[in-house]
A = this chain, B = another copy of it.
């Protein structure tokens, strides 16, 4: 125990000043900035009734709330329970997985409302940001990219570092999103590029900068136990089930949302089967690996993010899921070990396999599908509506749109890599209370944990005779 204690002392993981300071100061900053900038939009303001009359809107149901609220709640569950519980799989880092996910998401959504508001929704007349349910969805989306990045760093960073990662992550996201959606006018309803590709490369680069050569010292904690794997399945399933809502939440009213749901539903189903297949084929006796089932089954949802609104056809969706399930599972089998050994990238949750590669696939699929869109398939109006070919881009052709989609993918990757290197450098400063290599993946560093009191107590109470029952 002596050696372990000394190593524990080697790094100062005391966050009693830094964490409360960051939480308080940033939250107060949020209050001030919200006071200056954020207001209700015309659909959530009491003047809605006058707005309705002016615009001749016949029913309250036309309030965007009723189009989007069910999807919003599903996305909300994905962010907090989906991502949170997916990260409980480590045997002694379940508190950190679900708890820090909770903390940074709660901060990130506030900061995202501001950042995205400034870039996309700033009212030119009064310089206010007017928010409604669509802004809440977009804020959840934005935070998702930071939670993905957290996946690469899980167990190796302090909550203060995570707050910093989120602060910059949301900022970078808003700029990248502005370039991709507004300047390039690319489509990305479910965020294959904007959310997944960016988030994954952002996290992987940070993890690369923060490389820990002696991480094997905490190897005994870098795995799951039986019940932690079942907890993680809660996260997997809520992500999997609600992914159709994720990819359709901000799609066009009517057929847009409807089609995005069908495409995503099918892609996800398909990737489950290929994940099981590759997982089984790779092990003795065909035994399945929970890591694959928990993660690669979701690849279809990631890869369907960009094209979900398009007329990719139902069998096209199945093919996307088919391929991404295979690629993702192979990633867990071969790429993750290779990256750790050769590229010095330690990727705790394997986000490269679940988000980076399927995200890139999604971007490419989106570019190809857009480039091959035609009036004969979409209808004249349908084509214009789906790609928003109006105003400044009224004359854009589908081929050019395909090119812009491809460009958008590179923007997402570039923002991830450059942003990650930058933020990684900041996080390397020795002031954030990160754990020593030997203390990684251990909740005991940042949480009050009563280890095994109960189990030992129960064992103690039993009389020897009972052991044979």
Contact = CB atoms under 8 A, between A and B. Distances in A.
Interface stretch (A41-49, A173-181, A333-341): A41-49
Given A40-B262, A66-B61, A27 B281 contact: no
A266 interface: yes
Contacts of A39: 313-314
B46 A225 contact: no
Nearest to A458: B452
A98 B31 contact: no
A60 B450 contact: no
A245 to B, nearest CB: 7
Nearest to A46: B382
A237 interface: yes
B80 A237 contact: yes
Contact of A59 (B62, B227, B257): B62
B31 A73 contact: no
Per DSSP, are chain A's interface residues mostly helix, strand or loop, or mixed? helix
A390 B447 CA distance: 53
A389 interface: no
A292 to B, nearest CB: 10
B272 A463 contact: no
B84 A46 contact: no
A19 B76 CA distance: 35
Interface stretch (A8-16, A186-194, A196-204, A409-417): A8-16
28 contacts: A14-B286, A15-B286, A16-B286, A20-B277, A27-B318, A30-B270, A31-B315, A35-B315, A40-B314, A47-B379, A49-B385, A50-B382, A61-B62, A61-B66, A73-B74, A73-B244, A73-B245, A76-B241, A77-B238, A80-B241, A95-B230, A102-B237, A106-B273, A226-B449, A227-B227, A289-B447, A451-B458, A457-B469
